[in-house]
Amino acid sequence: LAAAEFLAVDWGTTNRRVYAIGADGAVLATERDDRGVLAVERGAFPSEAAAIRARFGDVPMLCAGMVGSTRGWVEAPYLPCPAGLAALAAGLHWIDERTAIVPGLSVIDGKRGDVMRGEEIQLLGAVTAALAPHDALLCQPGTHCKWARMDDGRVASFRTTMTGELFAMLGKHSLLADFMHGAVHDGAAFGAGLDAAADGALLSPLFGARAGVLLGRMVQEDVAAYVSGLLIGSDVREQKLVRGEQVHILADPELGRLYATAITQAGGATKVIDSHAAFVAGIAAIWKEHHALA
């Protein structure tokens, strides 16, 4: 096994992924586990980092994501948008001489504010790896879906939607919970949810899904896909896409396909790009920028 030049840790709320990265930016080893920020006791981050080094190599480490929040290892202040890779490299928050946290980004636009932690690496990585153009609209579906406008290779502004969190909450805690056990795929029920959302509705068809089951107009197995269509369709509608607008989607293939269908129906064009490749390109570029700065 070739020696890693540095380790990159995508350290989120629930999950964590470690990449051992070589001098040429290639991934030598990677591993995903559930040691997200919420699973790590306060004060236990140094020993977690030591354990990662014991497994992947005793080399420098860049951490990104919620690890830099108040609930994480140490709080790394947000950098204001617009911000690019050079700003992230210059803003690395060093815990010791070989362990740093990548800052998150913030945007303040009139009365509106927004924040991200971790997603910025994928966004900027996608552009630096030419997976998306320097001026682009990027979408990262998930618990909190990010819609980012790139301008000249930097994150110009972004908007977060609570789409995935609402879906999970409805499936666990709402009066629809008992009905939301079905699989979500890009089929007729998902499309019916998109149709209702395109009509400008969300709060009414949500209840309608329950009524539909009670009245025998909808089978229970379709409820989860319908609700997913409603939420993703509403998410896309809120972005007010211009007809023909190209959206680059950073997601796993399954969720990426649902968003692609919703965006296409709303008149946009889509390209799904590999979010892991984007992350690796982004973090490798930050590492390189850091050394250029140093």
Q: Site for a copy of itself (CB under 8 A): which residue of 180, 202, 260, 263? A: 202
Whether 78 contacts 22, CB under 8 Å: no
CB of 212 to a copy of itself, least distance (A): 5
Where does residue 210 rank: exposed (0-12), middle (13-18), buried (19+ CB within 10 A)?
A: middle
Structure tokens at 87: 């700003």
Q: Site for a copy of itself (CB under 8 A): which residue of 26, 50, 162, 219? A: 162
CB of 50 or CB of 162, closer to a copy of itself: 162
Report the 10 Å Cβ neighbour count for 208. Answer: 17
Q: Which residue has the tokens 């609209």?
A: 137
Residues 211 to 270: which contact a copy of itself by CB under 8 A? 211-212, 214-215, 217-218, 231, 234-235, 237-238, 240
CB of 25 to a copy of itself, least distance (A): 32
Q: Any contact of residue 192 with a copy of itself (CB under 8 A)?
A: yes
Residues 62 to 81: which contact a copy of itself by CB under 8 A? 78
Alpha-carbon gap, residue 12 to 2, rounded angstroms: 27
CB of 94 or CB of 207, closer to a copy of itself: 207
Residues 140 to 159: which contact a copy of itself by CB under 8 A? 144-145, 159
Residues 3 to 62: which contact a copy of itself by CB under 8 A? none
Report the 10 Å Cβ neighbour count for 151. Answer: 14
Q: Any contact of residue 165 with a copy of itself (CB under 8 A)?
A: yes
User: 95 Cβ partners below 8 Å, 6+ apart?
Assistant: 73, 74, 101
Alpha-carbon gap, residue 127 to 122, rounded angstroms: 9
CB of 74 to a copy of itself, least distance (A): 16
CB of 23 or CB of 175, closer to a copy of itself: 175
Whether 257 contacts 272, CB under 8 Å: yes
Backbone angles phi, psi at 48, to 5 degrees: -65, -45
Q: Which residue has the tokens 């990548």?
A: 102
Residues engaged in binding a copy of itself (CB under 8 A) = 78, 106, 108, 111-115, 144-145, 159-163, 165-166, 169-170, 172-175, 192, 200-208, 211-212, 214-215, 217-218, 231, 234-235, 237-238, 240
